[in-house]
Amino acid sequence: MNAFLSSFDQTLYNFIYLLAVWPAVGFVAYLRRLPQFRQRDSISFTTVPQERLSSATEANNVVTRALEQPPTLHAEPRKAASYYRPELDALRFFAFPSVFIAHSPTLNYGSSSQLWKQEIGRALDRAAHAGVYGLPLFFFLSSFLITELLLREHEKTGSIHVKAFYARRILRIWPLYYLGVLCAIAVSAIPSGYPLTHREIVYLVFFLGYLGGAYHGNPLGILWSISVEELFYVAWPWIARAGKQVIKCVAFLCFPVSLATLWIVLPDAWYNPICHFLFFATGALVALKFHQRAWSLSLLGRILMFAAGVIAWLMPIFYWDASRWVNRTSFLIADIGVVLIFLSVFQFNANRIPRWTIYLGQISYGLYVFHLVSLRFVERVIIRHLSFAGSQFCTLLTTMALSLVLTIAIASVSYRYFEMPFLRLKERFQFIRSRSVSA
């Protein structure tokens, strides 16, 4: 019986693998037709001479000639059709170290005879654990930006071009994602490493990572969150195409659905994509609220709002036991914190934002993908050969510092030499220009 199940699993694995080949081949063929790509409803008739048409036959001939002209790709969108908020890149940078700190080693002062050390260590570990809510902030930002760009595209062109949207998302997400999947498989092959089963590999390959949970501690198991985002990308352009009212209705519907699911699936809510729809819905509603609207707040007001958002993140960790930080109200409280943190920086003066935070926000995708690999490498290869005279605090700081430097180095190289060619190609599908690739 076991042999039969093993054979069945392998057959299923091979079958699903073959199914993956055809979308990949189709997408490559689609890219090869790029010189002929252009949306039918974006063909311009402005080149038709402004002559008086004397008959219906002549008018029909002009229209026919216009349609038969070789369609070309929009290489450069109109200058006015652009949307880029550098402060949101800085906010992405804030989201990354939050997750980085949450995944870093903890202080183990539980066996210390000094009570103050136990209390400080426990407080620091809980505060660091609140950094997991940096992931919902990523979800919120993705939803806000995607919704805003789709709304502007609809206003500019009169429609939302779903194929072009999918092409943009594929070129932004898939290359680095599948590089991460290959790294996960390579790491799992290392002796005494982090093994992955065939089923878990299938989950990662087909963006079903949320089904695999923690992936035996594999440092690339964090790719499950990208699978959650892919669900949003698949559905959202169709919803946005139906109009603002439909976006609003769907977003409001997500709240009871997400919270009800949270109550049902506890304590396994963290890896459940429906629970995280709450943050995508909030991002969409905020985008609708502030679409084409100004937001002004004093510096003191922004500081207080940011502090309130951080406190909202800390509440579920300190009010409940840290091992039960996912509970029936923690997601809603974290969502409030996400909105407060977002509004504290939204439309902030870009000239007052350090350039390096904007750059690190631009490469935050690579930072997120590679940060756990860097942490595990530093822990296993470097720190074990260093001596800190039993000082846990020095060991922790050194581990985090070396891992952060290594993560930034890998992400910078990845962005410059691996991601950027795909991002340049992605620009050819844009109807609303966002951040420049060369920025």
Residue 59 lies in a domain: no
CB 93, CB 364: distance < 8 Å: yes
Residue 6 lies in a domain: no
17 pLDDT more than 80: no
286 pLDDT more than 90: yes
Residue 13 lies in a domain: no
CB-based burial of residue 415 (10 Å sphere; 0-12 exposed, 13-18 middle, 19+ buried)? buried
Residue 24 lies in a domain: no
Q: Which two tokens stand for residue 99?
A: 């997750």
Q: Which two tokens stand for residue 285?
A: 């509603």
pTM: 0.81
- Lookup result for tokens 């502007």: 152
Specify the amino acid at residue 141: L
pLDDT in tens, 349-404: 989 999 999 999 999 999 999 999 999 999 888 887 776 655 777 888 899 999 99
Tally of helices (H runs) and strands (E runs) in the chain: 16, 0
Number of domains comprising the chain: 1
Q: Which residues of 146-182 are buried (b: 16+ CB within 10 A; e: fewer)?
A: bbbbbbbbbeebeebbeebbbbbbbbbbbbbbebbbe
70 pLDDT more than 80: no
Output phi, psi for 82, to 5 deg: -145, 155
pLDDT in tens, 23-45: 443 444 444 444 434 443 443 33
pLDDT, position 389 = 52
Read off the pLDDT of each residue in 312-323 and give the average, rounded to a whole number: 76
Residue 152 lies in a domain: yes
Residue 53 lies in a domain: no
- Separation CA 117–CA 135 (nearest Å): 30
Q: Which residues of 63-85 are buried (b: 16+ CB within 10 A; e: fewer)?
A: eeeeeeeeeeebeeeeeeeeeeb
Specify the amino acid at residue 46: T
Nearest alpha-carbon partner for 380 in 182, 105, 160? 105
Q: Which two tokens stand for residue 157?
A: 């062109």
CB 180, CB 220: distance < 8 Å: yes
Read off the pLDDT of each residue in 5-10 and give the average, rounded to a whole number: 44
151 pLDDT more than 90: yes
Residue 34 lies in a domain: no
Lowest mean pLDDT among 6-10, 182-186, 282-286: 6-10
209 pLDDT more than 70: yes
Residue 220 lies in a domain: yes
Q: What is the band of 108 on the pLDDT scale with cuts at 50, 70, 90?
A: low
Look up the domain containing 383 and give its range.
90-427
176 pLDDT more than 60: yes
Count of CB atoms within 10 A of residue 93's CB?
Answer: 22
Output phi, psi for 433, to 5 deg: -75, 130
